[in-house]
C-alpha cells in the first residue's frame, strides 16, 4: 500500500513508568506500567519486586485490556427493570455518586432502625489489603452485622490451610524455600499453570532444573498437563485418592528407615521396628518434634502398603515405592499440594496425609523446606473502631458472641465447626430462610452467582435480594444488581496488597494509579468509607476520621518509619516510589532437629520447646501431630460426619471420597495458565491462547480418552452433552491420550452469560452448573472435582 505510505511516527509525549501490582491472580507481582500521552501501552514485571524480578506470566501483560475493556461500566447506575433473571435486561440508568450512596445508606439505616442490620451482607473475593477488604470486618462491627466480611476461601483452597492447621497448628498457606529444594513431590498443584505465585514458580523452575544438583520432580494429577509433562515423573491418579498414595509413601519411608531422625526421632536403640502389618511398642520410640507416630503406625499406617494403595489409586505399587525411596533419600525434599487432592469430600484427610510427609523428611522450617508468612509492619489507623460502637452495635455484638445470631453461611456453628468460610452455602441458606433471609447484599471482586457450585441455584435464590455490585464490568452479579457502584480497574487504583505466603519474610505492595480514572468510578475502599459516613449514629464519626483510603494508606505506611524495609522504604512516598516494602530475613530456621531464631546476624538463638510451640508449631502438643489434638476435640462431629469411631477421630487416615452427580466419569475442571480469575473471560488475547495442549483458541475442549469416547460413539471434535443430576451443559470434545479413561477434564473458564462481548455465550457451558454443591465436612472447601458425570453425543 504505497498509497498509504507512512513516515516514521514517534509520540511527542514522555513515557512515564508507574508502580502497580498485577490483579489477575493472587500472586502480587509488582508491575511497571508504561504510559505515554495519558495512554497505558505496556506492562512489564518490576525488577525491584521480589516476586516479579522483572518477569511476568502470560496474564500480566494483558492488563491494559482490563483498563480499556470496551464493555466497562462508566459510572454508578440504578436498575429500572424490577424483574431479575439471566434474560432480563436490568435497564440501568445513570445516577450520580451522591444519589447512589444515599440510596444504599438509606437502605442500611432502615435495616438498622428495624433491628435487622444482620440482614446486610458483603461477599468478597480477591480482597487485596487493609485499604479494601481489611475495612470490611470493622464495618460489620460498627454497623451491627456478622455478615460484612464473608470471604470466598471455601470456594478457593481452604483444604490445604485447614489440613496444615490440624497437623502443624498454622491454619495458613505455606511459604516455600524452593530455591534450595532437591526433591519436589507435587500432589495436584498446577505448579506451571495456576499455583501461586505462578510467575515466581516459573523463575524457580528455571533455577531448580539447571542448578547442581538438579531438583528432581514427581507430579501427580488426573491428566497430563504442562506441570507433569515438564516433571521427571508423571503419575495419573484416580481422582480424590492422593491421601492413599501419601500414606503408602509414609509406610515405605518408615519400613525402610528413611525418615529424618533428627526431626522425627528414632527408636531408642536405633533398630528399626517398623514392619508391614506389625505394631510397635510406643515406648521404644523417642519422638522429637512429632506427636502420635506410634499410634498413627499402629492404628493406620502399618497396613497402608503400596500394594494396598495400588488398589485405591491405580498407581502401580512399584512406582509408589520408587517415589517413596527418592523422596525419603533426597534432602531437602518437600511435598506440596493444593486443590487437586483437597477439593473432594475427603480433602482434609488427603491434605493431612500429604503434609505428614513433610514432617517425616524434616521439611518444616528447614532450608529447602516450608515456613509460614510474616505480616507487614503497618501503623495504626487514624481511629480505633472500638471507640465508635453505639448501643445497637454493642447489642449485635453480644448476640453474635452468645451464638444467638449466626453468620448467614453458618460458619462456626455446629453445622460447620471447623470451616473458615462457607460462601457456597449463602445462596441456598438465603433461599431456605435458614438461618434467616438476607435483605441487601454487596459484592466485592466476587461473583458467586456464576462461580459457585450449582450456580443456577443462586440465580433463583438472589432474585429477591437488593444487590449492590461494585465491579466495573458487566458481571453475572451485575445482571442481578439493583445498584452499580463501579470500582476503578487496578491501573487506576491506589491500594495496598500484602503478599500471599511467599518466602516467609514480610512483604506488602502498593498500587499507584498509572492514569486518572477513565470513567466516573470510585475505588471500593472509598465507596465503603462514604457509605459508612452516611450511617446514623457514632459509626459515621469513625468514617469521618478515616476520611478516605489514601489517608488510611498514609497511616499504614507510618509503621515503616520504625521498621524500614530492606529496600529502604520508610514512608508513604517511598512506598509509592518503589511499589513494595519488604523486610528480610525470615526469623526462624530448623536445622537438624533444632529450632533457631534470628538474632540480627544469623540463626543463632536456640529456641526452647515452649517457644517453638508459641511461634512455630502451634498445636496442642507443640509438635507436628500425626494424631491431631484439635480434631480429637471434634471427635463427635468427625464420628457423625464420616462414621469414624470417636477414638480414631484425630488419626491421619484414609477416608474414601464420595462422588455425587449420578454419572460414570470423574469430572475435573482445572484452571489453565491463562485463567485470569473472573477478569480474563473478556480478554480476546487470553481466550485465543487458553488451552494450548488441546488447541483451545476460541473455546476450551472436553478432554476425553479415545477409548472412553469410542465406547459412547463419540468422535474427536464432536459436540457432546455433559450431564449430572443437576442438568447438562454442552461442549466440544477432543481425544486425549493424556486423560485417564475414567475421567473427563474441562477447564473452568467459559460459559458466561454476562461479563462482556467476548465472554458472553462462549461455549462450552459453565462447569459450575453441573457441579454438585457438596463440601468437605472438615475444611468446608467446595468439592469442585468430586462430581461424576455422563457424556454422550449431542
Partner 1 sequence: MPKWGMVIDLDKCTGCQACTTACAMENNTLPGESWQDVLFYHEGKYPNTSIKWFPRPCMQCENPSCVHVCPTRATYKTDDGVVLIDWNKCIGCKYCMIACPYGVRFYADEKPLLEPDIRQAFPGSDGQMWSPPFQNPESDWSKGIGIQPRGVVSKCTFCYHKISKAPAGVADLDEDNPDLVEYVPACVRTCAPKARYFGDLDNPESKVNELIANKRGTRVFEHTGNKPQVYYLGEHGTVPKFEPQFDDQA
Q: What character string, x for contact with partner 1 (CB under 8 A) and - otherwise, covers 192-231?
A: x-----xxx-xx-xxx-xx-------------xxx--xx-
What distance, in Å, lies between the first and last C-alpha atoms of the chain? 47
Minimum distance from residue 1 beta carbon to partner 1 (Å): 5
Shortest CB 456 distance to partner 1, Å: 22
Residue 54 or 282 with smaller CB distance to partner 1: 54
Shortest distance, CB of residue 685 to partner 1, whole angstroms?
5
Supply the minimum distance, in Å, between the C-beta of residue 310 and partner 1: 13
CA-to-CA distance for 112 and 228, rounded, in angstroms?
Answer: 54
At residue 332, φ and ψ (nearest 5 deg) are -70, 145
In contact, 255 and 275? CB cutoff 8 Å: yes
Of 616 and 754, CB closest to partner 1: 754
Is the CB of 30 or the CB of 764 nearer to partner 1? Answer: 764
The sign one gets for the Cα dihedral 141, 143, 147, 148 is negative
| Residue of the chain from 413, 548, 716, 790 that contacts partner 1 (CB under 8 A) | 716
φ, ψ of residue 175 to 5 degrees: the values are -95, 150
Residue 737 C-beta: closest distance to partner 1, Å = 5
Q: Smaller CB distance to partner 1: residue 295 or 689?
A: 689
If one asks whether residue 674 binds partner 1 (CB under 8 A), the answer comes out as yes
Q: How big is the site for partner 1, counted in residues (CB under 8 A)?
A: 85
The Cα–Cα gap between 655 and 294 comes to 20
Q: How far is the CB of 732 from partner 1 (least distance, A)?
A: 6
- Radius of gyration over every alpha carbon of the chain, rounded to an integer in angstroms: 26
Element (H, E) at 80: none
Q: How far is the CB of 43 from partner 1 (least distance, A)?
A: 7
Sign of the dihedral defined by the CA atoms of residues 451, 452, 453, 459, in that order? negative
Using CB under 8 A as the binding rule, the residues of this chain from 57 to 96 that contact partner 1 are: 57-62, 64-65, 67-68, 70
Residue 217 or 246 with smaller CB distance to partner 1 = 217
Find the binding residues for partner 1 in span 364-403 (CB under 8 A): none
Give yes or no for a contact between 205 and 179, defined as CB atoms under 8 angstroms apart: no
Looking at the Cβ atoms of 313 and 628, the one nearer to partner 1 is 313
Query: From the CB of 276, what's the least distance to partner 1, in Å?
Result: 27
Interface pick for partner 1 out of 673, 759, 778, 782 (rule CB under 8 A): 673
Of 741, 753, 790, 794, the one binding partner 1 (CB under 8 A) is 741
Q: How many CB atoms lie within 10 A of CB 80?
A: 11
Least distance from partner 1 to the Cβ atom of residue 444, Å? 26
Q: Cα 157 to the chain's mean position, in Å?
A: 5
* Residue 204 C-beta: closest distance to partner 1, Å: 8
Cα angle, residue 748 at apex, residues 746 and 753 outer, rounded to 5°: 115
User: In the complex with partner 1, which residue's Cβ is closer, 56 or 423?
Assistant: 56
d(CA 587, CA 605): 10
255-294 positions binding partner 1, by CB under 8 A:
none
Residue ranges in 105-134 that form contacts with partner 1 under rule CB under 8 A: none
Nearest approach in angstroms of CB 452 to partner 1 is 25
Cα–Cα distance list, 79 to 90, 96, 252, 471 (Å):
6, 13, 63, 15
CB of 19 to partner 1, least distance (A): 15
Helix, coil or strand: residue 35: strand
By beta-carbon proximity to partner 1, the closer residue of 226 and 646 is: 226
β-pairing verdict for 175-176 and 743-745? unpaired
Minimal distance in Å, beta carbon 705 to partner 1?
6
**155-193: b or e for each residue (b if 16 or more CB lie within 10 Å)?**
bbbbbbbbbbbbbbbbbebbbbbbeebbbbbbbbbbbbb
Nearer to partner 1, 351 or 738 (CB): 738
What string marks each residue from 675 to 714 as x (binds partner 1 by CB under 8 A) or -?
---------xxxxxx--xx-x-xxx-----x---------
Which distant-in-sequence residues (6+ apart) come within 8 Å of 68 by Cβ? Answer: 40, 518
Query: Residue 44, class by beta-carbon neighbours within 10 Å (0-12 exposed, 13-18 middle, 19+ buried)?
Result: middle
Residue number with CB closer to partner 1 (194 or 393) = 194
- Beta bridge partners of residue 598, listed in sequence order: 603
Contact 342, 781 (CB under 8 A): yes
Which one, 700 or 772, has the nearer CB to partner 1?
A: 700
Given a contact cutoff of 8 angstroms between Cβ atoms, the answer to whether 520 and 591 are in contact is no
CB 11, min distance to partner 1, A = 3
Nearer to partner 1, 70 or 713 (CB): 70
CA nearest 176: which of 205, 155, 153? 205
Span 5-64, contacts to partner 1 by CB under 8 A = 5-11, 13, 15, 36-37, 39-45, 47, 54-62, 64
182 contacts partner 1 (rule: CB under 8 A): no
Distance of alpha carbon 786 from alpha carbon 250, whole angstroms? 25
Q: Give the alpha-carbon dihedral of 284, 286, 625, 620, to 10 degrees.
A: 110
Contact, 20 vs 490, CB < 8 A?
A: yes
- Is 203 or 241 the residue whose CB approaches partner 1 more closely? 203
Beta strand 77-79 pairing with 92-94: antiparallel
Query: Does 721 engage in binding with partner 1 (CB under 8 A)?
Result: no
Q: Which is nearer to partner 1, 45 or 369 (CB)?
A: 45
Residue numbers 752-791 binding partner 1 by CB under 8 A: 757-758, 762-764
Which window, 167-175, 191-199, 284-292, 776-784, contacts partner 1 (CB under 8 A)? 191-199
Binding window for partner 1 (CB under 8 A); candidates: 81-89, 398-406, 732-740, 775-783? 732-740
Q: Which of 238, 302, 671, 734 binds partner 1 (CB under 8 A)?
A: 734
- In the Cβ-directed half-sphere of 750, how many Cα atoms lie within 13 Å? 28
Amino acid at each position: 500500500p504505497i498509497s498509504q505510505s507512512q513516515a516514521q511516527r514517534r509520540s511527542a509525549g514522555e513515557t512515564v513508568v508507574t508502580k502497580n501490582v498485577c490483579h489477575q491472580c493472587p500472586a502480587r507481582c509488582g508491575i511497571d506500567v508504561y504510559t505515554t500521552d495519558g495512554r497505558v501501552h505496556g506492562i512489564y514485571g518490576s525488577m525491584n519486586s521480589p516476586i516479579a524480578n522483572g518477569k511476568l506470566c502470560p496474564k500480566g501483560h494483558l492488563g491494559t485490556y482490563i483498563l480499556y475493556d470496551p464493555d466497562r461500566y462508566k459510572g454508578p447506575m440504578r436498575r429500572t427493570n424490577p424483574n431479575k433473571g439471566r434474560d432480563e435486561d436490568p435497564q440501568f440508568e445513570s445516577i450520580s455518586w451522591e444519589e447512589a450512596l444515599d440510596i444504599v445508606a438509606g437502605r442500611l439505616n432502615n435495616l438498622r432502625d428495624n433491628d435487622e442490620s444482620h440482614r446486610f451482607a458483603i461477599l468478597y473475593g480477591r480482597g487485596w489489603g487493609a485499604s479494601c477488604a481489611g475495612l470490611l470486618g470493622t464495618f460489620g462491627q460498627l454497623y451491627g452485622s456478622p455478615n460484612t466480611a464473608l470471604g470466598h476461601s471455601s470456594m478457593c483452597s481452604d483444604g490445604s490451610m485447614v489440613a496444615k492447621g490440624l497437623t502443624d497448628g498454622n491454619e495458613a498457606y505455606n511459604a516455600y524455600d524452593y530455591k534450595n529444594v532437591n526433591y519436589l513431590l507435587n500432589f495436584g498443584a498446577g505448579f506451571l499453570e495456576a499455583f501461586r505465585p505462578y510467575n515466581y514458580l516459573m523463575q524457580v523452575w528455571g533455577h531448580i532444573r539447571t542448578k547442581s544438583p538438579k531438583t528432581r520432580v514427581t507430579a501427580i494429577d488426573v491428566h497430563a498437563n504442562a506441570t507433569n509433562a515438564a516433571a521427571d515423573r508423571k503419575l495419573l491418579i484416580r481422582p480424590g485418592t492422593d491421601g492413599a498414595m501419601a500414606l503408602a509413601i509414609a509406610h515405605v519411608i518408615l519400613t525402610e528407615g528413611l525418615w529424618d531422625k533428627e526431626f522425627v526421632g528414632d527408636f531408642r536403640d536405633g533398630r528399626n521396628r517398623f514392619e508391614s502389618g506389625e505394631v510397635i511398642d510406643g515406648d521404644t520410640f523417642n519422638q522429637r518434634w512429632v506427636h502420635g507416630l506410634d499410634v498413627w503406625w499402629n492404628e493406620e499406617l502399618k497396613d497402608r502398603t503400596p500394594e494396598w494403595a495400588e488398589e485405591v489409586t491405580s498407581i502401580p505399587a512399584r512406582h509408589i515405592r520408587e517415589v517413596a525411596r527418592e523422596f525419603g533419600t533426597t534432602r531437602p525434599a518437600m511435598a506440596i499440594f493444593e486443590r487437586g487432592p483437597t477439593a473432594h469430600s475427603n480433602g482434609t484427610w488427603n491434605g493431612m496425609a500429604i503434609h505428614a510427609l513433610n514432617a517425616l523428611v524434616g521439611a518444616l522450617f528447614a532450608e529447602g523446606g516450608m515456613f509460614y508468612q510474616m505480616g507487614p509492619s503497618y501503623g495504626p489507623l487514624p481511629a480505633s473502631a472500638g471507640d465508635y460502637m453505639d448501643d445497637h452495635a454493642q447489642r449485635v455484638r453480644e448476640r453474635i458472641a452468645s451464638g444467638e445470631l449466626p453468620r448467614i453461611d453458618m460458619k462456626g456453628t455446629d453445622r460447620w465447626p471447623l470451616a473458615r468460610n462457607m460462601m457456597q452455602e449463602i445462596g441456598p441458606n438465603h433461599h431456605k430462610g435458614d438461618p434467616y433471609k438476607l435483605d441487601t447484599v454487596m459484592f466485592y471482586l466476587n461473583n458467586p452467582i456464576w462461580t459457585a457450585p450449582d450456580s443456577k441455584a443462586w440465580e433463583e435464590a438472589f432474585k429477591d435480594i437488593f444487590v449492590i455490585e461494585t465491579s466495573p464490568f458487566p458481571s453475572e452479579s451485575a445482571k442481578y444488581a439493583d445498584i452499580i457502584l463501579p470500582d476503578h480497574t487496578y491501573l487506576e487504583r491506589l491500594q495496598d496488597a500484602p503478599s500471599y505466603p511467599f518466602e516467609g519474610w514480610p512483604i506488602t505492595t502498593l498500587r499507584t494509579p498509572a492514569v486518572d480514572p477513565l470513567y466516573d468510578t470510585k475505588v471500593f475502599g472509598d465507596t465503603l468509607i462514604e457509605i459508612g459516613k452516611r450511617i446514623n449514629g457514632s459509626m459515621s464519626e469513625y468514617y469521618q476520621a478515616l476520611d478516605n483510603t489514601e489517608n488510611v494508606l498514609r497511616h499504614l505506611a507510618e509503621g515503616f518509619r520504625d521498621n524500614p524495609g530492606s529496600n529502604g522504604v520508610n514512608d508513604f512516598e517511598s512506598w509509592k516510589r518503589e511499589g513494595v516494602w519488604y523486610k528480610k530475613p525470615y526469623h526462624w530456621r530448623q536445622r537438624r532437629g533444632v529450632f533457631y531464631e534470628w538474632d540480627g546476624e544469623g540463626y543463632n538463638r536456640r529456641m526452647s520447646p515452649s517457644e517453638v510451640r508459641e511461634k512455630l508449631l502451634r498445636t496442642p502438643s507443640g509438635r507436628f501431630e500425626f494424631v491431631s489434638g484439635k480434631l480429637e476435640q471434634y471427635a463427635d462431629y468427625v464420628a457423625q460426619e464420616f462414621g469414624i469411631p470417636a477414638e480414631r477421630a484425630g488419626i491421619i487416615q484414609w477416608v474414601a471420597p464420595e462422588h455425587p452427580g449420578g454419572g460414570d466419569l470423574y469430572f475435573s475442571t482445572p484452571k489453565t495458565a491463562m485463567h485470569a480469575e473472573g477478569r480474563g473471560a473478556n480478554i480476546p488475547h487470553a481466550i485465543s491462547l487458553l488451552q494450548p495442549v488441546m488447541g483451545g483458541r476460541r473455546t476450551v475442549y472436553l478432554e476425553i480418552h479415545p477409548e472412553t469416547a469410542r465406547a459412547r460413539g463419540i468422535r474427536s471434535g464432536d459436540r457432546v452433552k455433559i450431564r449430572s443430576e443437576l442438568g447438562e451443559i454442552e461442549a466440544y470434545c477432543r481425544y486425549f491420550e493424556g486423560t485417564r479413561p475414567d475421567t473427563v477434564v474441562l477447564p473452568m473458564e467459559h460459559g458466561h452469560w454476562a461479563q462482556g462481548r467476548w465472554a458472553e455465550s462462549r461455549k462450552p457451558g459453565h462447569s459450575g452448573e453441573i457441579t454438585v454443591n457438596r463440601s468437605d465436612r472438615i475444611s468446608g472447601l467446595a468439592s469442585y472435582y468430586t462430581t461424576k458425570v455422563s457424556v454422550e453425543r449431542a
